[in-house]
Each structure stands twice: as structure tokens, then as C-alpha cells.
A and B are shown apart, each in its own frame.
Chain A
Amino acid sequence: MRATVAALLAKEFTLEWRTRESVPAMVLFSIATYVVFHFGLDRDRVTGDIASGILWVTLLFAAILGLNRLFVSEHEQGGFDGFLLAPVDRTAMLVAKAITLFSFLCIVELVALPAFGLLLLGPPLTQALPQLVLVLVLVNAGIAVVGTLVAGLAIQTRARDLIVPLLALPLLVPVMLGAARSATPLLRDGGAGALPGNWIAILAIYDLLFALIAYAVFDFLLED
């Protein structure tokens, strides 16, 4: 399976590099949303739970943009059939797509996080960054796994742009809850507080649970 995943990943990143359809849109959306919050809230700086909420909601909606594009090339250019005709483990596509989305989210956050720190965040981002990276990794993993499963399901439907957020957002509520509760103490004024271990554990368990569910059912999504 490793060779198949490697082949799919090479194809995914080459296509994104050539078309620049997903990552630039996600980055621009994130920055634009932070600017809107900056003026909409009429506040120069936010901290604690407000800061945490703005950070995660923006990243979640940016991820939805990427999700809607995740299987488009497979659907519109026959990539599904090409893949299904090959003697490969079909779960490789789930793994490759989830890694692709995870990578896209990481790239987006490389730009979006400093923009958030610059436009909205009260305390310096650097104080929270080391612990925030752990939360980001767990959140990205959750969005990648749940999102790939939902996008794989929705791509066969006519209204995929509607179906993806309708299915993904409720399923990602626990991830958002864990992310917000984990990041709130990190973004408080007066220095980052301790990372709440219980919420980190919940995030990790949720990621693992959905990874197992996705592994079990993804093959059936590709079936006729």
C-alpha cells in the first residue's frame, strides 16, 4: 500500500502545484475572514475563548473549501475509474487524500496563524506557539480524516458543495470543541496557561476513532 499512497501523493501535489486551486483559496479565505473579524468586532485585539473561537472557526471554514475540491479531479477527469481499475488496496486513496488535506491545512496555517497574530490576537503568538502546534496537529488530523470520508461520500452526489458542509460540520463539532477548549488557556492575556490534557486526549481519541471508521467503510464508498 505504501507504494500506491506514494504514487497518489505525488500526483496530488503535482496537480495542486499546477492548478493552485485549493491552498491559495484556503489561505485567502482565512486572511479575509480575520480581516472581517477585525473590523466586524471593532476590536484590535482578542484573547482567551474569543480568540480561540475565531481561530478555529476560520480554519474550519477554510478547510471546507479544500474539502469541496478534494475529489474533484478524480470525479471530473476519471481518476476514480483509473484508480479502481488498478490492482491496488483501495484504502490507499483514503490515506493519500487524508495526508493531502492534512498537508494543505498545515501550509494554510503557516500563513493564517501569523495573520491571526498580527490582525487580532492580543498576547504574542510566540508564547502559545509550541503548545498550539500540538493542538493544530490533532485538529488537522481530525478534519483530514472526517473530511476525506465525507468528501468521498459527497462527490458522487450532484449537490456536493452543499452536502460536504452539511455532513462535515456536525461531525467536526467535537473537534472544534476540543480545539477551542484546548487553545483557550494558551491564548489568554498574561502568558500561556497549561494545556488541558483531558481535551487533548479527547481530540486524539476522536481522531483515532474516525480513522478506524474511515478505514472500515471507505472501500464501500468507492464501490458501485
Chain B
Amino acid sequence: MPDPHTAVSLRGVGRRYGERVVLRDVSLELAAGQTLVVFGPNGAGKTTLLRMLATLLRPHAGEIEVLGRALPQDGYAVRGRIGFLGHEALLYRELSGRENLRFHARLHRVAQRRVDEALDAVGMLARAGDPVAELSRGMVQRLAIARTVLHEPELLLLDEPLANLDPAAAAQVAPLIGAGSSAARIVTSHDPTGGLVGADLALGLKGGRVAFLAPAASVRPQQIAELYA
């Protein structure tokens, strides 16, 4: 019986690409409304972990439950409740920001008024009519954040969400994807101090294995630095 208070539950989860194992034996539980920050060097398996939770990849070992539903078999039931912000913006370059968000609003059956609300929240209302191809990386990232929260998801999967954002933009999007958001969050980060702010749990991955999993308050910067050594 799934626990309604658990946002994410992983038991012995593994994943490989061909013969190469990129994630092995990851187990954790994240309660609804909590934040997990994931540290690890490039290739540690952070993005793979998020993509499995977003239903974009199947696990090759172990069990995953997201928002009380088992993946991948119940993926259809949770897709509309997850907001995924990856390295790609998932926006069409030849469409404007507003057209892209309208497209996603239609796919998620979200009222069209939410499009302008989301654009306003990320400070992109004035440039909403410009093709994405003509925007800076930071602006595209802000649009990607608007796309991620458009359908007001219960679980946010954020892969280095503040990449390309200036401090003002990062402050502007904080209520949407930061600790103030009511959603459960899994955030990848390379920032040993800033990444822990607002986090409840911290996971360190190295070579696809769990190096540490502990309450964020108890994780020392030295432990994070050792991941990158």
C-alpha cells in the first residue's frame, strides 16, 4: 500500500546504457513537500536518476514509486503531476515562448490563462512573442522554468535549475522552483554550500553509486568536495 506522504521511493534502483552501468543500488525515500539535493561529478548518474523519475527512462533494476504510483507501469498516472527541468529546454526554437507554453498547456490540459501567469512569474512577459531562437540562454532557461511549473506539479525534478541565470533571475524564479515551492523537489547541484540551502536530504553520487545519503544539515562540505576529488 503506497504511503500518501511519500513523494518518491527508490529501492535498489539501477540503470545501464548498453554494458555500462551508470547507476546501481540507489535506495531512498522523500516525503511530500521535502527537498532532496543530489551532488556528484559529471557522469555520476544524477541526470539518469531524474530521467527515470520523470518516466523518460526505465530502471533496469529495483523499484521506483513516484507520488504513490509504481514506475514505469503507472507512468501515465503521474506524468501530469511531475515538472521536469533538464539540460534541454524542451522548447521549439522557431516558436515564441508564448506559443511553446500554449502548446504545453494544451498537452497538459491547463487553462490558457496560466500561460501568461507563468510568463509573468519568470519575467518573460515582455519577450513572450519572440522566437526562442532569438533569446539568450538565460531567457530560454526562464522559459523552461515556466514550462516546468505551468501545470503546477506536485513533484519538481530540477537538473541544475539555476544554470545560465543571473542573480536577479535566480531570485525571481525562487518562489516557483526554490524551497518556497510547495512541491517535493529533487535538485541536482554542484554548489556545496548553496545547494544545501533549503534541502532536507542530501544524496552524493559517485560512479553511479551512493557515496552518502543523509539529512542535509548533517552533510559537511568536505564530504561533497570528496565526490569531485
Contacts and interface: CB of A to CB of B under 8 A. Distances in A.
A79 B84 contact: no
A77 B76 contact: no
B57 interface: yes
Interface in A5-61: 6-7, 10-11, 14-15, 18-19
Contacts of A224: 56-58
A201 interface: no
A32 to B, nearest CB: 26
A100 interface: no
A11 B79 contact: no
Contact of A73 (B54, B92, B107): B92
Contacts of B99: 14
Nearest to A74: B92
Contact of A88 (B54, B92, B95, B107): B107
Contact of B103 (A7, A18, A19): A7
Nearest to B87: A78
Contact of B91 (A18, A78, A84, A86): A78
B108 A87 contact: yes
B161 interface: no
Interface string A72-95: 010001110111111110000000
B90 A79 contact: yes
A223 B75 CA distance: 11
Given A14-B99, A224-B56, A224-B58, A83 B107 contact: yes
A85 B54 contact: yes
A87 B79 contact: yes
B104 A84 contact: no
B106 interface: yes
B106 A85 contact: no
A86 B56 contact: no
A85 B84 contact: yes
B153 to A, nearest CB: 10
Given A78-B91, A81-B88, A87-B76, 9 more contacts: A15-B92, A15-B94, A83-B107, A87-B108, A87-B109, A223-B58, A224-B56, A224-B57, A224-B58
Nearest 5 interchain pairs by C-beta? A87-B80, A7-B106, A86-B107, A78-B90, A82-B90
6 contacts: A3-B109, A7-B107, A77-B92, A84-B56, A87-B108, A87-B109
